[in-house]
Amino acid sequence: MEVTLDTNAYCDWLRSGLWNGKISQASRFIVPMIVIGELVQGLHGGDRFQKNKGILMDFLSEDAVEVVAPDLAIADCFGVFMNYLRLKGTKMPTNDVWIAATAHMCGASLLSDDIHFDFLPQLNRVRSGG
């Protein structure tokens, strides 16, 4: 199984092991550049920046982990998703639409408990409990 990690899934996994079952089944991890930006922003607000950034960098250097930056295909998918949400009259954080577009274009399930991902039925999302 190939998975894309949302920011909260990565944090919950490290803090409590919440995603251990899903992560242990994964053969490949997609980490959107947007997620890395959100994580680094959060690290700057903490008191263990160096330690936690080292943990993140170690994870990102694993062979099964692929960092994915937006490209033209992801940007096109982002535009499709944003237009879909606009037509439905639904708002969603812009960063999360980028994360969803990355997961969708990489063909990987998105690990996230954020309920607003339900607004994108095109997305293959996996929750921590199911």
Output the six-digit token pair for 77.
């998918």
- H helices of the chain, in order, are 7-16, 20-24, 33-44, 49-60, 72-88, 94-106
Quote the domain boundaries for residue 54: 2-126
Q: What's the chain's average pLDDT?
A: 95
Q: Does residue 90 have a pLDDT over 90?
A: yes
pTM of the model: 0.94
**Tally of domains within the chain:** 1
81 Rama sector, left if φ>0, alpha if ψ -120 to 50, beta otherwise: alpha
Integer Cα distance of 12 and 23 in angstroms? 12
pLDDT, tens digit (0-9, with 9 covering 90-100), for 112-130: 999 999 999 999 999 997 5
Q: CA distances (Å), 90 to each of 55, 82, 97, 106, 123, in order?
A: 36, 9, 12, 24, 15
CATH code of 63's domain: 3.40.50.1010
